Amino acid sequence: MKDDRLKDGEMLNLLRERVEKASKRAMDAPRDFEWLSKKLGKVGDSVSVTTLKRCWGYVDAPMTPRQHTLDVLARYLGYHNFEHFVDAHDVINDEPASDPVAGVLLRPAHDLAVNDRVLLTWQPGRECVIRYLGNEQFVVERSERTRLQPGNTFNCGVIIEGEQLYIHNLIMMGRKPTGYVCGKRGGIHFKVLE
């Protein structure tokens, strides 16, 4: 890696800090590492609980994280890989150059199987359960306090935690396909249902 900051752990520390911020939890107990390992597995990447504990220094075992581990954690934050994360944080006056994704992202074509269900929530008090049909298409199964209704279908290429959700080709009964935005106040939150 071209950046000397990696040698003293500065970028690893920043990566861990950003993962904790995106997860909205400090990695300071075994259950936190188990949760993160499962979360990474759900978006198509695998890192063991033990590796995560070593990466965070939770266990006494000297470790320089493997490139795979760094890449997986960077992808969790929305970067292509760890080098992309490092390039995006070329620090000038302690400010990162860019931050492409504010939160955790879900890429339906890569992260979901057909018939997987996702719970979406947003303000004020909106809730919707959608089922993945494949090819970036969803059907609404259940909704509360939203214009989306059971049976509506739509397309969506990415869902980003904490950001607005832009859907297209929304088909509502008796209407022409249209676009729709969820979460204009504070973004949406999502959870893949088991």
pLDDT per residue, tens digit, the chain (194 aa), is 444 444 347 888 888 888 888 888 888 889 999 999 988 876 667 889 999 998 888 887 667 788 888 888 888 877 778 887 787 765 543 444 444 444 577 888 788 899 999 999 998 889 999 999 998 999 999 999 998 999 999 998 888 888 888 898 999 887 888 888 998 888 898 988 87
State how far the Cα of 160 lies from the Cα of 143, in Å rounded to an integer.
19
What pLDDT does residue 25 have? 84
Buried b (16+ CB within 10 A) or exposed e, 18-37: bbbebbeeebeeeebbebbb
Placement of tokens 């089922």 in the chain: 131
Strand 126-134 and strand 117-122: pairing?
antiparallel
Reduced to 3 states, what is the DSSP secondary structure of residue 62? coil
Nearest to 103 by CA among 37, 174, 187: 187
Alpha-carbon dihedral 160, 89, 17, 15, rounded to 10 degrees: 90
Q: Which pLDDT score is estimated for 120?
A: 93
Q: Tell me the pTM.
A: 0.51
What pLDDT score does 154 carry? 94
Q: Among 75, 65, 81, which residue's Cα sits nearest to residue 44? A: 75
The b-or-e profile of 141-177 (16+ CB within 10 A means b, else e) is eebeebebeeebbbbbebbbbbbebebeebbbeeeee
Q: What dihedral angle (degrees, nearest 10) is formed by the CA atoms of 160, 164, 168, 173?
A: 120
| Residue 102, pLDDT score | 46
Q: How far apart are CA 103 and CA 132, in angstroms?
A: 21
User: Could you tell me where the DSSP H helices lie in 102-170?
Assistant: 108-111
